[in-house]
Amino acid sequence: MNHFQYQGDQLFAEDVAVKDIVASVGSPVYIYSRATLVRHFKAMDDAFATLPHTICYSVKANSNLAVLRTFINLGGGVDIVSGGELYRALQAGADPAQIVYSGVGKRDDEIEYALHTGILMFNVESEQELERIDVIAGRLGKRAGIAIRVNPDVDPETHPYITTGLKKAKFGINIERALEQYGRAKEMANLEILGVDCHIGSQLTKVSPFVDAIRKLKRLISGVREMGIDLKYLDLGGGLGIQYHDEDPPLPSDYGTSITEETQDLGLHLIFEPGRNLVGNAGILVGTCLYTKRGEEKNFVIVDAGMNDLARPALYGSFHGVQAVQKNQDGVVTADIVGPICESGDFLAKDREVPNFKVGDLVAFMSAGAYGFTMSSNYNSRPRVAEVMVSGDRFEIVREREQVEDLVRGEKIPSFLN
Ligand code: LLP
């Protein structure tokens, strides 16, 4: 359920007509609904109400400060994967004691930054990273909280690019070697072992892979405890899917019930790192129809938003619903909706039955709140678009549209070319 609904023939974001936002902010624009963000966070939080837990929102899905602040105001922590995300989280007011840091390639300066900040824990993804964190913490006179990110070798049955928990993935430490690594970590003076972590993939539409992973982790947890290590946290990552098209993902409450059943006797504080589930359906991208082309083989609707603004269709063949911001009575057409970028992969919808858009019509791409703006780029020297948040009948720009001057900021022509 989200708050992008029609009132008459007009698409609204909560109580604001989308066309009014575009009239004021321009096109293309990302629009986020605060009420939807709050609803999704609460659904996830309530799903684990019977157990001690923290929802550490995964910043990579949508890192806008306004989105981060929305969740922080609800008591959320954050999951980060870079120094840049840590900076954003702190700017948004995150409590360092509720920050977990994942990622296979943490640099020394990023580890130092996180240690100075006093984050809760590093989710360690390799044997070498354990040592690196120990050495850096020693140098700074700190103790680093850690969990080992375990790769449980379960198939989440999702897109291969977003499958992370299989043996062949670059992520985490193989579950068969994890116990040995806990043993090593125990001997490292500057590490405080706090937990066990895993994240098996994204856009999961079943609960069973999560349950399979937990069952494997439970054996590891007993082994770690037998070594005399006092575990406090079990971080189960993110990954719960959403409906883009005809998927039927479990509700957060179903996910909560299954996971609660599996973990309630462990005496551990649960951490979750949801990204997409909280923000995906809370955002849309709105563009404008620039041209229409009736081809012999295909019809094209050319819009002012492209793969640089929303990369998911080009990258993963992902489906985003297409809706008219103002419904017309002109019927439907089967078309590709494409952007202005000079690549054939620049499509936002393919062979889709869509409203018969005319030049100037506004086109809404649904479920674009997750991995939309965060994966956007300046390709073809296109300034990144504005972001707006709506709350009830109010809306504000939460990121200004870039200007052409922003495109060359930091660039210079070297003296030998003058
Ligand atoms: N935790 C870790 C360690 C992760 O790697 C991820 C996502 C998450 C949490 C959040 O997962 P979520 O709840 O959003 O599924 N760009 C792709 C998705 C990449 C996901 C990467 N990791 C897409 O647009 O579908």
Q: What is the pLDDT of residues 154-183, one digit of tens each?
A: 988 777 666 676 777 889 999 999 999 999
**306 Cβ below 6 A of ligand 1:** no
Region 319-327: mean pLDDT is 98
Q: How far is the CA of 202 from the centre of ligand 1 (A)?
A: 5
Domain boundaries, the chain: 4-32+280-407, 34-277
- pLDDT of 170: 87
Residue 130: its pLDDT value, please? 98
Average pLDDT of the residues of the chain: 96
Confidence class for position 329, pLDDT limits 50, 70, 90? confident
pLDDT at 332 over 70: yes
Res 401: pLDDT = 98
User: What would the mean pLDDT of 33-39 be, rounded to a whole number?
Assistant: 98
Note if the bond before 252 is cis, omega within 30 degrees: no
Rounded CA-CA distance 30/408 in Å is 23
pLDDT the model gives residue 169: 80
Whole-number pLDDT of residue 165: 67
**Residue 395 is encoded by which pair of tokens?**
């809306």
Tokens of 308: 């640089």
Percent of the chain beyond pLDDT 90? 94
Specify the pLDDT at position 156: 82
Confidence class of residue 2 from pLDDT cuts 50, 70 and 90?
A: confident
Q: Is the pLDDT of residue 142 over 80?
A: yes
The pLDDT score that the predictor gives to residue 238 is 98
What's the 3-state SS for the chain? Answer: CCCEEEECCEEEECCEEHHHHHHHHCCCEEEEEHHHHHHHHHHHHHHCCCCCEEEEEEHHHCCCHHHHHHHHHCCCEEEECCHHHHHHHHHCCCCHHHEEECCCCCCHHHHHHHHHHCCCEEEECCHHHHHHHHHHHHHHCCCEEEEEEEECCCCCCCCHHHECCCCCCCCCEEHHHHHHHHHHHHHCCCEEEEEEECCCECCECCCHHHHHHHHHHHHHHHHHHHCCCCCCEEECCCCECCCCCCCCCCCHHHHHHHHHHHHCCCCCEEEECCCHHHHHHHEEEEEEEEEEEECCCCEEEEECCCCCCCCHHHHHCCCCCEEECECCCCCEEEEEEECCCCCCCCEEEEEEEEECCCCCCEEEECCCCCCCHHHCCCHHHCCCCEEEEEECCEEEEEECCCCHHHHCCCCCCCHHHC
Q: What mean pLDDT is predicted for residues 224-246?
A: 98
pLDDT value for 157: 76
Greater confidence (71 vs 329) lies with: 71
Question: What pLDDT is stored for residue 296 in this prediction?
Answer: 83
Report the nearest atom of ligand 1 relative to the CA of 275: 14
CA distance 98 to 103: 17
- Predicted pLDDT of residue 1: 73
Would you say the CB of residue 374 lies under 6 angstroms from ligand 1? no
Ligand-binding site membership of 228 (annotated): no
Which region holds residue 217: left if phi is over 0, alpha if psi is between -120 and 50, else beta? alpha
pLDDT in tens, 246-278: 999 999 999 999 999 999 999 999 999 999 999
Residue at token pair 């990110």: 149
Question: What local confidence, expressed as pLDDT, does residue 168 receive?
Answer: 74
Asked whether the predicted pLDDT for residue 295 surpasses 90, the reply is no
Q: CB under 8 Å to 72, separation ≥6 — which residues?
A: 78, 92, 93, 94, 95
Q: Determine the distance separating the centroid of ligand 1 and the alpha carbon of 124, expressed in angstroms.
A: 17
Q: Which CATH superfamily is domain 4-32+280-407 in?
A: Lyase, Ornithine Decarboxylase; Chain A, domain 1 (2.40.37.10)
What integer is the mean pLDDT of 103-114?
98
Residue 239 is assigned to a ligand binding site? yes
**Whether residue 283 has its Cβ less than 6 Å from ligand 1:** no
CA of 59 to the centre of ligand 1 (A): 9
- What's 34-277's CATH class? alpha beta
Of the residues 55, 60, 242, 320, which should be mutated to test ligand 1's pocket, given the most ligand atoms within 8 Å of the CB? 60
Beta bridge partners of 300: 293, 336
How far does residue 169's CA lie from ligand 1's centre (Å)? 14
Q: Which burial class, exposed, middle or buried, applies to 233 when counting CB atoms under 10 A from its CB (0-12, 13-18, 19+)?
A: buried
CB distance 369 to ligand 1 below 6 Å: no
Whose CA is closest to 321, among 250, 256, 144, 310?
Answer: 310
By most ligand atoms within 8 Å of CB, the mutation choice from 40, 58, 100, 163 for ligand 1 is 58
Average pLDDT for residues 131-139, to the nearest whole number?
A: 98
Instruction: Please tell me the predicted confidence (pLDDT) of residue 167.
Output: 72
C-beta of 14 in contact with ligand 1 (< 6 A): no
Shortest-distance atom of ligand 1 to CA 103? 3
342 carries an active-site annotation: yes
